[in-house]
Structure 1
Amino acid sequence: MFDHVVFGVSDYAASKEFFLKALEPIGIAIISEGPLGVELSADGKSSLCLRRAGEKPGHLHLAFTAENREQVQAFYRAALEAGGKDNGAPGLRPNYTGQYYAAFVLGPDGHNIEVVCHESEV
């Protein structure tokens, strides 16, 4: 649905490092970087753009798709190791759907970062 999402971060270096480490398990990498900030993508079709901002931005909820539950678990571990704060350990969320398997972590600016798999366990 989205081509790209752009938002400001209060500490550009810390946020860039956090998002790269936390989202590496789902293939996110830098595709471009310049004076305005950095563009991250896993498929080159849609991207997440972090922009330098002088103040703390309002909180966002960003949800990324995982191919399997192992990627959700790997994201959660990587995000916590990168300094994120737990906001929901990997697990089924039956209140959403019977196969909604997700993990939630708060990033450097308090953004709620989610990775979700809609596939059943293999």
Structure 2
Amino acid sequence: MIDHIGFAVSDLARARAFYEAALAPLGIAVLMEVTEAMTGGNGAHIGFGRDGKPFFWIGNGKPASNSTHVAFAVPDQAGVDAFHKAALAAGGRDNGGPGLRPEYHPDYYGAFVLDPDGNNIEAVCHGEGAA
């Protein structure tokens, strides 16, 4: 199952205004803002969603990160770890090893890899099976 998806935009403020207006009739609103400092210098990002869960992200990442981002929901940390190991063995490049990301929320456990085209692929669990 897809947990969330995101992509780069050229003007974050303009894109925010567009998506706030366009998604409002769907009950989707800004739920989270991530600063450039929180991403380790990989740009600022805005998460849209509903019911407390951001699932659509836009960001103004640096050119190397101007790729699509897809996160797959997995049931536990072992699944995140297995994804990361398998993706690296298949030729992916590490973009953030398995671990807690408390800057997103206290139980966020994820791992990131870049696929052969530079897309940022993630596996994430939200506390289920947390060690």
Normalising by structure 2, report the TM-score.
0.48
The separation in 2 between residues aligned to 1:60 and 1:110, in whole angstroms, is 8
Are positions 1:63 and 2:71 aligned together?
yes
The structure 1 segments of at least 4 consecutive aligned residues displaced by more than 4 Å after TM superposition are: none
- 1:119 Cα deviation from its structure 2 partner: 1.8
Distance 1:94 1:67 in 2: 18
Deviation (angstroms), 1:108: 0.8
Question: Counterpart of 1:91?
Answer: 99
Separation (CA, whole Å) in 1 of partners of 2:67 and 2:105: 25
Map of 1:21-36 to 2, 5 A cutoff? none
Normalised TM-score (structure 1): 0.52
Q: Which amino acid aligns with 2:76?
A: N
- What does the per-residue CA deviation read over 1:17-49, in whole Å, with 9 as the maximum and x for residues that have no partner? xxxxxxxxxxxxxxxxxxxxxxxxxxxxxxxxx
Partners of 1:67 and 1:119 in 2: how far apart?
9
- The structure with the larger Rg is 2
Take 1:59 and 1:73, find their aligned partners in 2: how far apart are those partners? 23
**CA–CA separation in structure 2 for the residues paired with 1:108 and 1:90:** 19
* Displacement of 1:89: 0.3
Alpha-carbon RMSD across the aligned residues, in angstroms, is 2.1
Distance (Å, rounded) in 2 between the aligned partners of 1:97 and 1:112? 20
> Higher RCO, 1 or 2 (CA under 8 Å, sep at least 6)?
1
* SS at 2:95 equivalent: strand
Report how many residues are paired: 68
1:1-122, aligned counterparts within 5 Å?
Answer: 59-120=67-128, 121-122=130-131
Query: Mind listing any 5+ residue stretches in structure 2 that lack a counterpart?
Result: 6-65
Indicate the percent of aligned positions where both proteins have the same amino acid. Answer: 54
Give the distance between the partners of 1:97 and 1:59, measured in 2 at CA. 23
Alignment partners' CA distance in 1, 2:77 and 2:119: 22
Give, in whole Å, the separation in 1 of the partners of 2:98 and 2:127: 14
